Amino acid sequence: MPPTPINTARNALIALAAISAAPAFAELPAPVKAMIDAAIETGDAAKVATVLDLAKATNPGDAAEIDGIAAGFNAEQERIAAEDAAAKEAAIRSAGLLDNWSGQGQVGAFRSTGNSSNTGLTAGLELMRTGIDWRHKLTGLADFQRTNGVTTREQFLAAYEANYQLSDRLFVYGLAQYERDRFQGFSSRIAASGGFGYRVIDTDTMELSVKAGPAYRKTSFIPSGSSSDIAGLAALDYDWQVSDTIKVTQDASAFIQSGNSTYLSTTGLEAGLGSGLSARVSYAVEHDTAPPAGAVKTDTLTRFTLIYGF
């Protein structure tokens, strides 16, 4: 990406500050000084370090002056980074309730097996807001099909999760979730959970977080009846940005309780198409250890969707 006028001006100021901070020694040879200036104006710290190392190797008599330039460059980089971080934090703290949300919407088709075997439409929405210590996530997902005037697939999920950072990796969470799946034998299943989570991996290309805590689930069955249970929730969320355009995801959760426990695993593969658009294929397996009478224990769902990020 070509440098913007603002970045070019900023890098020029960094170069001036770096050279001004250098102690007064004999002048560097003009070609060496021009090479250092050009590297500093790029704003690329790795490139600057390489050029300064080469300059020292070829001009050992000017090592002290070159070290002074390096110290000035590093100090200016740190100052600018601190200013940018402070401005970002101030913007987050002053943001309104509806500000700083990002997310993605998806629409496509699915293929299911288990309690129903058919192909239909799927749609979903995910919204996220990240603050200084808090992170909020809203999720909605729907799969639906009607054939000859008869509904043959109807599954809905809505969830809200809030995380509060205790440290760079450790957090506490609160989760509220609603599900509806008539073909699995329940008109609604409401779950609430809270506990601790930990980011095991947190890099630019890979993230892995786990969480666990007590939970409460209330299930309303079809045609009648309900149950309320104390459960335990364990879950993981894994994202791997394989390349600029390829991403692998793995989400898994387990509600463990007496009676009916639920295990869910969703594996996804995304391919970027450009302009915020990507294609995704995912495979989900849901297993209930003791489903309602007439329902099978394991459902699978393959989704093919287009995703738009915003």
The full length of the chain comes to 310
129: Cβ contacts below 8 Å, ≥ 6 apart: 100, 101, 102, 135, 136
Token pair of 267 as six digits: 């594996």
Give residue 123's identity as a one-letter amino acid code. A
Banded model confidence at residue 23, pLDDT cuts 50, 70, 90 = very low
Distances in whole angstroms, Cα of residue 143 to Cα of each of 18, 90, 305? 59, 41, 12
249: Cβ contacts below 8 Å, ≥ 6 apart: 238, 239, 240, 266, 267, 268, 269, 270, 282
pLDDT of residue 34: 87
Residue-range domains of the chain with CATH? 5-93 (no CATH), 101-309 (2.40.160.40)
pLDDT of residue 4: 54
- The model's pLDDT over 273-302, given as tens digits with 9 standing for 90+, comes to 999 999 999 999 999 999 888 888 998 989
pTM for the predicted model, two decimal places: 0.72
Does residue 231 carry a pLDDT above 90?
yes
Does residue 3 carry a pLDDT above 60?
no
Token pair of 307 as six digits: 């995703």
The DSSP line for 256-306 is E-SS--EEEEEEEEEEEEETTEEEEEEEEEEEESSPPTT--SEEEEEEEEE
Phi then psi for residue 28, to 5 deg, are: -65, 150
Token pair of 241 as six digits: 């940005």
